[in-house]
A and B are shown apart, each in its own frame.
Chain A
């Protein structure tokens, strides 16, 4: 498959060219090698999963994509050009939004305010016109509000718009976090274990939302997940990691029949 060529998924969706590419990524913390020479790509419009047992380096990989970690070796290519080392907020402004494994919301603020912060990457008016609620700043605020309300409707959290996030149950918090990321209208959406700690019903809801987001907005999604069943149903292509190495990459069916993957999950002596 060439960079610019796409492919057609099992359910008939057309996937585009390469949006983000990780090239020979290695990440070391002191003497510990968390990620060992891994390459893979994420294509426009697809749902790409990164799976692997505990400690495989999945979260580290997500942190590299979102700029929280800088790889020791290797390059990140985004939208056809090599990305220089960046701070997380700069990466966010380039259209990479994310959620966190342990939910990172602004607990003291309402759901609406939380989702509004997702629009910060689209802020153009200066501090002073904002301070004076001036022309451009006011128009922007209105426009942001409209987009945010759409996201809130979409994720069915209208009823809790004005509730401080700190008071919400876990499942809803996860959904608010997704809403905040979505409000940024990201080119690529990173989900760090979106289903962790959820019950079956909540997992089903979340899966539906992830599929809907991809379907409705055409958002490219990269997600990390523990729950094999969920991942195989959701994703178009899967990267499997184990002990910092890539042991499999392909469609869910290909991965399921890969002997290394089976070994990693069922366990063979290392």
Chain B
């Protein structure tokens, strides 16, 4: 039994390094998507201390809008542009109707409000686009299909072109976001607002503008994630669940940390795949991916309550 836990999995890994690479690659693909969603959470949390429960449904809503628009006969790329427009209007509406009247309320009230947004978007999305599963318009968007087969260590490594595209696009988006946050005045304004509202106002930052901006960025992230996951698993309300995978990522990485979101996402993506293949399936009957991330986050929290990269809050008394 002990050998099955501590020795055999590693023996298997070394015996078939090509398979290990395959597992890690697949972990990386989902990991980078987790990281992307977690970034959406972090941005909103940093600039407004709101834990945005609606991030998951925004993924579904964006994907549904895209597919729905195309179904009405709108060309694929114009649908993408229109969907971005819809996400922008959504951000504007949320700021105006939900956030602005609730400024200064306790965090928990704003959190409840995002649950409200979630329920609204579920109902609204179903009414307009219907609740049945749909197929992502991958080929219309020019997302490549097929795969590349490589033979490292004399073994076999299959890279889906779809996955390669996802990794490239998501990486570029993450890098662009980082550059935006660190090297532009708008980015600085976003970070500043999270640190101190009063000071932010005194240097001429408008709360409203920044909130619309971060919710719109969260919307863009939602659309990219929606396309990527939709292309792999179809577009349905079940997609919302992947956003909840961002929760352990956030716990692991720390709610304020952008680095944490990225590293946490990649770690969870790869570790859960490794665990599933080498420990879960042989020992626990599989399907460990649904809970592994949460258990991992729980263990990390036991030792570092602020997460791996979170800000430690020290209060002087």
Contacts and interface: CB of A to CB of B under 8 A. Distances in A.
B183 interface: yes
Interface string B270-307: 00000000000000000000000000000000000000
B311 A123 contact: no
A100 B203 contact: no
Q: Is the interface of B mostly helix, strand, loop or mixed?
A: helix
Contact of B198 (A90, A100, A180): A100
B189 A120 contact: yes
- Tell me which of B180, B188, B191 has the highest count of chain A C-beta atoms within 10 A of its own C-beta: B188
Interface in A122-150: 123, 125, 127, 130-131, 133, 137, 140-141, 144
A98 interface: yes
A262 interface: no
A203 interface: no
A23 B202 CA distance: 23
Interface string A103-130: 0111111000110111111010101001
30 contacts: A66-B202, A87-B201, A88-B202, A89-B200, A89-B201, A89-B205, A92-B201, A92-B204, A97-B202, A98-B202, A105-B196, A105-B199, A106-B191, A106-B192, A109-B188, A116-B188, A117-B185, A117-B192, A117-B200, A119-B185, A120-B188, A120-B203, A120-B205, A130-B185, A130-B186, A130-B187, A131-B180, A133-B179, A144-B185, A184-B203
B186 A127 contact: yes
A165 to B, nearest CB: 9
Interface in B153-211: 176, 179-180, 183-189, 191-192, 194-196, 198-207
A141 B202 contact: no
B188 A89 contact: no
- Tell me which of A66, A98, A104, A105 has the highest count of chain B C-beta atoms within 10 A of its own C-beta: A104
A184 B201 CA distance: 13
Contacts of A109: 188, 191-192, 195
B191 A104 contact: no
A93 interface: yes
Contacts of A123: 185-186
Interface of A: 66, 68, 87-90, 92-93, 97-98, 100, 104-109, 113-114, 116-121, 123, 125, 127, 130-131, 133, 137, 140-141, 144, 180-181, 184
B298 to A, nearest CB: 26
Interface of B: 176, 179-180, 183-189, 191-192, 194-196, 198-207, 213, 256, 311
Q: Is the interface of A mostly helix, strand, loop or mixed?
A: helix
A120 B185 contact: yes
CB-based closest 8 A-B pairs: A104-B199, A92-B204, A106-B195, A121-B204, A88-B201, A130-B184, A106-B192, A93-B204
B195 A131 contact: no
A107 B183 contact: no
Contacts of B198: 68, 100, 104
A131 B185 contact: no
A180 B180 contact: no
Contacts of B195: 105-109
